[in-house]
Amino acid sequence: MGDVFKQLGIEWQQLVVNAVGFLVLVLLLWRLFWRRVSDFFAQRREEIRANLEEAERTRDGMRQQERELADRLAQIETEARDAIAKATEEAHAARNKILAEAREQAQQVLSRAREEIGLEKDKALAEIRDQVTDLATLMAETALRQTLDEERHRALMDELFEDIEELQKRQPLS
C-alpha cells in the first residue's frame, strides 16, 4: 500500500496528521457549533411543521365555511322558492276571491234589475188594467145612454179593441 501512496505522491505520515487534524477540527466544531446548528434546524423544522399545521387548519376552516355558505345559499334559495310559491298562491286566492265577489255583485245587480223590471211590468199591467177598466166603464156608460142595436154593439166593441191596441202600442208589456 505504501507503493500506491508513493506513486500518487502521498506520504502516509502526512495523511495521518491531516486526518487527525481533520478529526480534531470536526470534534471542535461539533463541540462548539453542533448544538446551536442542531437547535436551529430543530427550531426551523418545528416552525415549518407549525406553519403547515396552521395552513391545514386554515384550509379545513375555509372548507367548513364554504360548506356552510353553500348550505346557507341552498336554504336561502329554498326559502325564496317557498316565498314565491306562497305569494303566487296568495295572489291566485285573492284573484279568485275578487272574481267571486264580482260575480256575486253582478248577480245581485242582475237580481235587483229583474226585480225592478218585474215591478215596472206589474205597474204597467196595473195601469193597463185601470185604463181598460176606465174604458169599459166609459163604454158601459155610453152604451147605457144609447140604445144598443147589434150594429152599434159591434162598432163599440171594435172601438174598444182599437183603444186597447193603441194603449199596448204606447206601453209595451215587456
Rounded to whole angstroms, the Cα distance separating 58 from 70 reads 18
Rounded to whole angstroms, the Cα distance separating 84 from 116 reads 47
**Tell me, what's the pLDDT at 39?**
87
Angle between helices 150-170 and 35-145 (to 10 degrees): 160
User: Is 50 a residue whose pLDDT tops 70?
Assistant: yes
| Higher-scoring residue by pLDDT: 170, 102 | 102
Rounded to whole angstroms, the Cα distance separating 159 from 140 reads 13
| pTM score of the predicted model | 0.40
**Tell me, what's the pLDDT at 174?**
53
User: Is 77 a residue whose pLDDT tops 90?
Assistant: yes
Whether the Cβ atoms of residue 11 and residue 5 lie closer than 8 Å to each other: yes
| Higher-scoring residue by pLDDT: 143, 134 | 134
Task: Give the pLDDT confidence of 9-39 residue by residue, as tens digits.
Answer: 777 788 789 899 999 988 888 888 878 888 8
Rounded to whole angstroms, the Cα distance separating 5 from 16 reads 12
